[in-house]
Amino acid sequence: MEIQYVIINFLLLVGIVAILGKKIILSIFRPRRERIENELNEAELIEKTPLPEYKEVSLSAPENQPENSAILDAKKDAEHKIRQIQTFGARECHEVHRETIEKARKSLMGAMSVNVAKLCKTEPYFTAIRNEESALVDEILSQIKLTPGDMAYLKRHDVLYVTLTSAYKLDDSLVKKVDKATTELLNTVNGKTSLWVREDESLIGGLRLRIGDTVYDATIKEELYHFEKHLTKVPIEDTDAGAELLKEFKELAFEFAPKIYKYQLGRVMTISDGICWMDGLADIMYGEVVEFDCGERGMVLDIQQDRIGCVIFGEYEHIDSGSPVRRVGRIASVPVGEGLLGRIVDSVGNPIDGIGTIEFTERRPIECDAPAILDRAPVNSPLHTGIKAIDALVPIGKGQRELIIGDRQTGKSAIVIDTILNQKGKDTICIYVAIGQKETLISEIQETLEKYDAMKYTTIVAATASGSAASQYIAPFAGTAMAEYFMYAGKDVLIIYDDLSKHAVAYRELSLLLHRPSGREAYPGDIFYLHSRLLERSAHLSDELGGGSITAMPIIETLAGDISSYIPTNVISITDGQIFLDSELYNEGQRPAINVGLSVSRVGSAAQTKLMKQASSNLRTKLAQYRELEDFTQFGTDIDDETKATLDYGKRLMEALKQNRYHPVEDWKQALLLFAVSEGYSKSFEVHETEEFERGLYEYFENNCPDLTNELKSGRKMSNEVMEKVKAALTEYAKRS
């Protein structure tokens, strides 16, 4: 009963701190809230107040011009004010709220630690805590055992160090009991023990036994540590949440019993440039998460005989040599689920968009095995990009890995963003992984996706250029883990890695800092394995596993169009095809600037509808012929009429394949346009009027040929009868135009 009174009094103290914290939060929020309310009231007033009517003013009345300009300026200011307040309400308010709550959490934990330490030194709490020491020793000794790491250490040193630490001096009988139990444990493997007994007031109460690297912790300090971890996971939406937390812990107090926490401890040897070398932690695995004394976390990336290499996710400046490091007990993982849709997260799954916490019930490791060959199904279902040049020439199937490659500023990101926009209403989840991109660019992409209502089925994983190399390294693996959750749930996913060139640079930096030997072009030798184990996780699962798929579109940046360098050739050999964007075509105004000769899809027509396959069957050959003739005739040689006709035909095809950004085209429309141009029905228009021809063609079929339109939308191959009807409709449209 005495220990329950200790906990109840402790929770009453928490309540006092929470109430004081509430007042602090209110004092912080009050001026901010009043300003927000004033601006919202002002916005409502502006919206309700009718603006002066704008009237055309002739140039002969200059005296009225200043008044007209003032009206326009007032209208612009009002619209800007409304947009600003709406944006503030959606984002900045959440960010300010979140920062304030985080400060309140830290203040609460700091006050609790100090006050609990003082409380435990007073009666009757001091005596109650000391009386539990014997029971805690018995419970700990019932759990101790040697780990594989301890066994390996004993083979080299014969002696295993045991440390018994308590907040106050322990009774000699308890020390002897611990010494006897640990000695008997070591005798079973012909080992010796060396017992060290210490006192540490920072533990507040209880005791801690460390055998080798393994710690059995039953201290109040450890309870506060876990309480703090719990507190950070509890969403606090308003200033009354402190009272709710107090109520929850009061209920738990009556069921309180001393807990034994088991974990492993190591020690920081050296730290620099985001890389930490540690000793101890002999049982740790590659890719496992560790936590430093300051709260930062990292991931094991190198295991040697006498030390362990770790990359740090966050800031490393406040990690000191010699400080303890704790084994968390799990492989690096990220939260997954529906709650991530519509959000921007960092490389470990934490929200960075300022609109609150993410609700999730499941985590997935960032690295896992790719589906086996027998678990896969053939890639035979198209993933429409909405881009005419891709869907017709280099089609992409669900479960395929199609590389986007080209120089800087050739429209690589534009292609993948348009592909995301085209997935609207197609029940396809999109994951966009930004690696080493500027924060402004990521913000622009988010605004574009929100503008076209595509953010609701998209997650952005952002490892910005200002972030660490470690975050850029794990970002694509984290995004793939999020995608796998949906794939194994039977859904189709599109994942974009923008771009893997920067990912390779980040891995090279980490590898060189970990003292791994550099290889070709200074990249470590396992860079090929790095990208292959990433991209092999994209697949089309068999029907027995749900039939889900991950379609990968990695991006690689080249220098001066050199696709034969190390990283491009690596990724080309891993993927199922590539789309090469030519800087010369881009400068000529061709959008997208796809080089037909260097672009290929190894899935081919299996990823096309029968209608598109019929319409684009000989398109690649005709375009290749046109490019060859164009290169030959640029020297000014005389050409015959047949060659002129071929060049005109090729120009019309190239013009028909041009496409503006953010305007994906449905598959049946693409097939109809290509069929019309290839059959010569656009000759009544000039080449530069092809866009007008295309726009009118779609409107004509939708308004005047509903039966034919429905037939084309089915994606079936055109029968002879349907083809004749389509030709007749095209002839009629050409006459009207």
- Contact assessment for residue 583 and residue 524, using Cβ atoms and an 8 Å cutoff: no
Distance of CA 426 to the CA centre of its chain: 22
What is the DSSP track for 361-408? Answer: SEEEES--PPPPGGGB----SB---S-HHHHHHS--BTT-B-EEEE-T
Q: How buried is 144 (Cβ within 10 angstroms: 0-12 exposed, 13-18 middle, 19+ buried)? A: middle
Residue with tokens 């656009």: 682
Buried b (16+ CB within 10 A) or exposed e, 527-537: bbebbbbbbeb
- Contact assessment for residue 334 and residue 543, using Cβ atoms and an 8 Å cutoff: no
Residues 6+ apart with CB under 8 A from 736: 700
Among 550, 268, 569, 165, CA closest to 405? 569
What is the DSSP track for 511-559? Answer: HHHTTPPB-GGG-BTTHHHHHHHHHTT--BB-GGGT--EEEEEEEEE-S
CB atoms closer than 10 angstroms to residue 227: 17
Among 639, 702, 647, CA closest to 669? 702
Could you say which of 105, 267, 602, 620 is catalytic?
602
Handedness of CA 406, 411, 413, 416 (dihedral sign): negative
Tokens of 61: 């009345």
Chain length of the chain? 737
Q: Are strands 261-272 and 324-331 parallel, antiparallel or unpaired?
A: antiparallel
Listed in sequence order, the DSSP H helices in 49-147 are 65-87, 93-119, 125-131, 133-141
Q: Are strands 308-312 and 428-435 parallel, antiparallel or unpaired?
A: unpaired
- Active-site residue, 602 included: yes
Tokens of 90: 């959606």
Tokens of 382: 């198209």
Phi-psi label, residue 67: left if phi above 0, alpha if psi -120 to 50, beta otherwise: alpha
- Contact assessment for residue 136 and residue 206, using Cβ atoms and an 8 Å cutoff: yes
Active-site residue set = 602
